[in-house]
Structure 1
Amino acid sequence: MTFSALWTNPSKFRDQLIGWVAQFPARVQTKLLVSFLSIAGLLIALGAVGLHVLSGVNDQTNELIKLQRKIAAYHQVQHDTTSQLYSISTALLLQNDRMLDAALRQLRQFGYDLDRMEFVAKDEAELLGQVRQDYDQLTDEVTKVVDFIRTGRTDEARKIQQTQIMSLLDRLARLTNQLVNVAEADMVDAIETTERAYGNSRLIVVLFAVGSILLALGLGYIISWSLVEPVQKIESRLRQIAAGDFAQQVTVANRDELGILAQSVNQTSQQLGHLYQEIETRTHELVEALTYQTATGEVLKAISRSTLHLQPVLKTLLETATQLCRADKGLLFRLEDEFYRVKASCGFDQEFRRFIENNPIRPDASGTVVGRTAIERRVLHYDDVMTDGRYTWPEAQSLGGFRTVLGVPLLRDGEPIGVIALARDHVESFTDKQIELVTVFADQAVIAIENARLVLELQEQSAALATSIDELKALAETGQAVSGTLDLTRVLDLVSARAMALGQADACALFRYDRNNRVFILWRASGLEANLSEQIRSLRILEAETVMGTAIRQLTPVSVSDLTQLPKWPLRDVSVSAGIRSVLIVPLVRAERVFGTLVLMRREEAEFPKQIIDLMQTFASQSVLAIQNARLFREIEDKSQQLEVASKHKSQFLANMSHELRTPLNAVLGYTEMLLDGVYGEVAGEAHEILEYIQSNGEHLLALINDVLDLSKIEAGQLTLTLDDYAVQSVIEAVVSVTQPLARAKGLDLQIRIAENLPLGRGDERRLTQVLLNLVGNAIKFTDAGSVRITAGTVGELLELTVTDTGPGIALADQERIFDAFQQVDSSSTRQKGGTGLGLAISKRIVRMHGGTIAVESAPGQGSTFRIRVPLQVDEVMEAA
């Protein structure tokens, strides 16, 4: 494009420049930097031009100043000249020597001034030369005139003055005026020149400033539009993308970041287009899945709402599956009575429904969609039943008008219980997703059917359980009532009455079985008239002449719905004559021992239900236990009375015998001691040893008799406590005084630890001393080495006494047994320690009579500690002996 064409069409020129800048291969930052640098360069150039112009103006101003000074100097010369001429004229006129000398000096001084002006006013050198020449001539002439005047030659002086000096003065005045005029003319020329220079400089600065501004604006405009236009295009494209238009492309000529951004926008638009398509596809799938899930949820709600009413659930399920799969028709079959029968239909006319209802499908009908689906237990798809060789039921197809059929089995634990069949009137295959959906619906149908079945079973079981609970409750109440008494007569009455109520019978009788005579004897009866009961009780009921014999032989209940059909046995005749028509006989058996029978009687002919039979069998087992307990209790009560009498006799005998034995034994011990003391003479040698042996064994026998006597008193309830105040320290000192010799003889260390400030106690001091003496004596007896320690203290309101030894210890299994009568740790025939085993038993009873406790803490090989705790203040005997 030529310059003229660009000039006539500026928009194209602008576009060319913008395009050139846009296509320039540089970054936006670089372009902006170049633009800013260009503007900065223009500003610098503008400043340089302005400085240059100001420099020229300054030069002109300096010239004007010089001219002004020159004019001032010329005026000064003119003035000085005038003054010189005037003073010379005056001096010549007056002819005064002093004035003449002053005029000469001024002339010479002015000459010096003219010499200096020659260096300043070079342009007027010629005029200054003439002035100089005239001044020199004037000086010479004046000097002559002065000389003439001084010499008296006045006429010559006046002549020279008139002819020479006056003409010189006139010519000097003209020359000085001419200098001033020339300088002023130069001044005017310089002013005009300065004005023209200032105007030209101002014009240059303005033009240069305007040009710079225009150039800066042009650069900014071009660069900004090279950036703004792509941004606008990109922005417009982004709005299109936001509006959903992903097909367009943004075209930008820039080869900078905007060009890269435009390419990125195009790539993003392309990717968003692909993503949008994928999202639309996915959204469609999600909408479809949501529709399926919603439908499935509705089906599940229908299943949850109608657990018993199955038909509405199946119909809803079939209609939903048919609609979602875009099928025209649908059927749901269930296996009942060895046939697949229609339970729900959708889309078929009434004639086809009557046909399919009247022609149920056999499970082995492989020529039908339902039969083959059930046989193969999998989903079957018939693209066109008209051309598919597997389908051989043309009558159904003719009436139904279906072409494409889908069969889905209803499987429970792998076994078919029904089939869902969906059909289309035209040939169009079902998709995999539709097949999957129908499969899910088939599973839901199985769940609904199974839920309905389970609910029915649960209701039946709940009813049975409620009945069982009622029966168990009745059994429990009966068991509590029967077990609440041990009176055999009362037990028998309760069993017969409760059995009649539980068995819903008119009467109930309990018969006792006599094994020796093989006969049944009436125990108790409820619901029978008194005369009938006496009549039956008077009968000899043989085992062989009643059904009760069969029941006890088989050990199972026997139900007779019609007594008139039995042989004419005595019991049967009496019962029939009394109006009894049906009976239930339940044997009373425990641990294979037959106690008798329980017989329920009704006045109507009817079988006893199995539930009643089972209930009465359970009741009979419970009743046998109660009867046996009552009998055993009666027997135990009789035995207890007998044992109580025997125990009293024994205790009385032992008390009497102990008293009778102690009297002669004390005499034997007394005589023995007298013999040992030599009352009847000195006894020495073997006889002395025998007497000591007799004394030792006698004392042991006396202690044994005392223990037996105490135990007999305890068992006979004759042992009493004598309550009084006592000092604990006195009790311990009494025990120590008796046992100290025994401990010293065995080399044992007997230690005593009594707490300070023990209060007085109240109790039986003698019995407590006996208990403590027994414990310390046992500790010394069973300890071979070491020590025995007695401690006393208080624990709250209790007195605590402990006896600790370093003996062999007591096993845990023996720690309870040693407090029983006649029990020892070593109870063998070869035991090394003596004793009767009564001391701890008596001690325990004495401590308990004080309201206290006695216990042992021990382990084999670690010694033993016996601990007694009794109240410090015993106000009454806490336990009878």
Structure 2
Amino acid sequence: MDVVTRYQAERSTKSILVVDDEAVIRDLCAKALKGYQVLQAGDGEEALRLFEKGGIDVILTDVMMPKLNGIELLRRLKELEPTLVVIVMTGYAEKEIILNALKADADDFITKPLNLLQLKTAVDKALDKKALKEEIANLRSMDRLKSNFLSLISHKFRTPLTTISLFLQNLAGGIYDPHDPESRRNLELICGQSRYLESLVTELLAFSRFMDADEGVLREPCALNDLVRGIVCSSPEAAAKPGVKTVFDLDPLPPLSLDREKIAFAIGQVIDNAYKFSRETGTVTLSLKQEGDDCRLTVTDTGMGIPREELPKIFEKFYQVDPDGAGQIRGFGLGLFYAREFVKLHDGTITVESEPGVGTALSLLIPHGAPAAD
């Protein structure tokens, strides 16, 4: 495909919404913008409804319209999507209108009567501007994530390092008696903090590898029943809660063709969280069932639960549920983010239901996909 053909193909996928209460103006714009996907709206309210359906790249709007004028439409659109590019068409040269449009973050102006060549040029420039805005927004988002990550790492490492440092200072000052029960408890505490640091480094290295990896799904035969049992047996969070009863309700399923490492990670994160957020006593139930052509693994705990307003956030990067508000939840808040990404790579989904004080159920729906070879 040559450069011209590729440009035409890319352009044909871009959607332009023309908003004007005059049908003749909308039709003229549509003809001038041949080669783009052009949608039309007769007023601001209709334009908002069309925009909320998604897929609009540039909006071309008149100022004076019934129901919702162009300036108010511009304000609402920018609140919904700051990187959206909006071109204002106006037959009014009043300074106040221009200033209000600029305050509402208008990207360009076209005066009426329309110059069709100017219109097409303005839209082409607007698309270039939108691409630049999105790139800048992505860079800012990456910088913000990097800053949050560095801050989180500093916080997570500071507590165990401070504890170990204080103990070593006491040891160097001769404040240690191997026969004193308190000294022995402090030593056990330091050993525990050292193991925690080691686990943080291991987890950090694993996440670093996931961030850089782009190998897709490497499928192999995988028996989910055995995998789930093995993950529970090796879970440090399960070992730390001996008072929590584990109930297995695993139907015998044939081996599936899955990426063992990625699915094991996803299931491991869900299982670890079930124990981590359980009380000292309770129950974690693991249910594996076949649902048509899919299989569903549901991990249910009787723990603290998650407030309804927190549920949409639990799959975000660096987000951690902190029921006590102490800021001492272990981990980096990346586990469920990558768990969902890895399940999505298998065309599956993760859903969550929770009630504070009652418990949480996370459900992984995994398509069977291609059957595993014997």
Scaled to the shorter chain, the TM-score interval is: 0.5 to 0.7
**Match in the other structure for 2:253:** 758
Equivalent-residue separation in structure 2 for 1:861 and 1:620 (angstroms): 64
Distance 1:841 1:475, change over 3 A: same
Equivalent-residue separation in structure 1 for 2:35 and 2:134 (angstroms): 21
**Match in the other structure for 1:869:** 365
Cα deviation for residue 822 of structure 1 reads 0.9
**Match in the other structure for 1:778:** 273
**Mapping for residues 624-639 of structure 1, pairs under 5 Å:** 626=123, 629-630=126-127, 632-636=129-133, 639=136
Pick one of 465, 470, 481 that aligns with 2:24.
Answer: 470
Matched, 1:591 2:102: yes
Cα contact 2:222–2:255 (8 A) shared by 1 = yes
Gaps of 5+ in 2: 1-21, 39-59, 61-91, 165-176
Cα deviation for residue 711 of structure 1 reads 3.1
Residue type of the partner of 1:725? P
**Match in the other structure for 2:302:** 806
Cα contact 1:743–1:749 (8 A) shared by 2 = no
**Mapping for residues 173-188 of structure 1, pairs under 5 Å:** none
- Between the two proteins, what is the percent identity of the paired residues? 23
Larger proportion of strand: 2
**Match in the other structure for 2:173:** none
RMSD of equivalent CA atoms: 4.7
**Match in the other structure for 2:320:** 824
Residues 735-793 of structure 1: CA distance to partner in whole angstroms, max 9, x if unpaired? 232349846845221111111x4212222334333322322221112111321111112
Cα deviation for residue 867 of structure 1 reads 0.7
Residue type of the partner of 1:825? V
Residues 646-681 of structure 1: CA distance to partner in whole angstroms, max 9, x if unpaired? 89xx7xx99xx9xxx9xxx9xx9xxxxxxxxxxxxx
**Mapping for residues 625-704 of structure 1, pairs under 5 Å:** 626=123, 629-630=126-127, 632-636=129-133, 639=136, 685=180, 688-704=184-200
Equivalent-residue separation in structure 2 for 1:594 and 1:771 (angstroms): 44
Cα contact 2:255–2:371 (8 A) shared by 1 = no
Equivalent-residue separation in structure 2 for 1:699 and 1:868 (angstroms): 30
Equivalent-residue separation in structure 2 for 1:621 and 1:828 (angstroms): 60
SS in 2 for 1:803: strand
Cα deviation for residue 720 of structure 1 reads 5.5
Cα contact 2:231–2:268 (8 A) shared by 1 = yes
Distance 1:625 1:591, change over 3 A: farther
Pick one of 717, 730, 736 that aligns with 2:213.
Answer: 717
Residue type of the partner of 1:762? S
Gaps of 5+ in 1: 1-467, 485-494, 496-550, 558-586, 599-612, 669-681, 877-881
**Mapping for residues 135-146 of structure 1, pairs under 5 Å:** none
Equivalent-residue separation in structure 2 for 1:622 and 1:810 (angstroms): 52
Cα deviation for residue 614 of structure 1 reads 5.3
Cα contact 1:707–1:839 (8 A) shared by 2 = no
Q: TM-score scaled to structure 2, two decimals? A: 0.57
Residues 247-267 of structure 1: CA distance to partner in whole angstroms, max 9, x if unpaired? xxxxxxxxxxxxxxxxxxxxx
SS in 1 for 2:263: helix
Equivalent-residue separation in structure 2 for 1:738 and 1:471 (angstroms): 68
| Matched residues, number | 272
Equivalent-residue separation in structure 2 for 1:772 and 1:779 (angstroms): 11
**Match in the other structure for 1:795:** 291
Residue type of the partner of 1:849? L
Between structure 1 and structure 2, the one with the greater Rg is 1
SS in 2 for 1:819: coil
Residue type of the partner of 1:837? G
Residues 14-33 of structure 1: CA distance to partner in whole angstroms, max 9, x if unpaired? xxxxxxxxxxxxxxxxxxxx
**Match in the other structure for 1:853:** 349
Equivalent-residue separation in structure 2 for 1:753 and 1:594 (angstroms): 59
Equivalent-residue separation in structure 2 for 1:856 and 1:596 (angstroms): 44
Cα contact 2:304–2:323 (8 A) shared by 1 = no
Distance 1:860 1:622, change over 3 A: farther
SS in 2 for 1:777: helix
Equivalent-residue separation in structure 2 for 1:866 and 1:823 (angstroms): 17
SS in 1 for 2:322: coil
Distance 1:683 1:759, change over 3 A: farther
Equivalent-residue separation in structure 2 for 1:645 and 1:745 (angstroms): 37
SS in 2 for 1:778: helix
Distance 1:874 1:849, change over 3 A: farther
Equivalent-residue separation in structure 1 for 2:368 and 2:196 (angstroms): 33
Pick one of 734, 739, 748 that aligns with 2:230.
Answer: 734
SS in 1 for 2:314: helix
Cα deviation for residue 829 of structure 1 reads 5.5
SS in 1 for 2:226: helix
**Match in the other structure for 2:311:** 815
Distance 1:752 1:846, change over 3 A: same
Equivalent-residue separation in structure 1 for 2:233 and 2:328 (angstroms): 26
Distance 1:788 1:641, change over 3 A: closer
Residue type of the partner of 2:232? V
**Match in the other structure for 2:264:** 769
Cα contact 1:801–1:868 (8 A) shared by 2 = yes
Distance 1:715 1:769, change over 3 A: closer
Equivalent-residue separation in structure 2 for 1:724 and 1:857 (angstroms): 31
Q: TM-score scaled to structure 1, two decimals? A: 0.26
Cα contact 2:244–2:282 (8 A) shared by 1 = yes
SS in 2 for 1:809: coil
Equivalent-residue separation in structure 1 for 2:332 and 2:362 (angstroms): 19
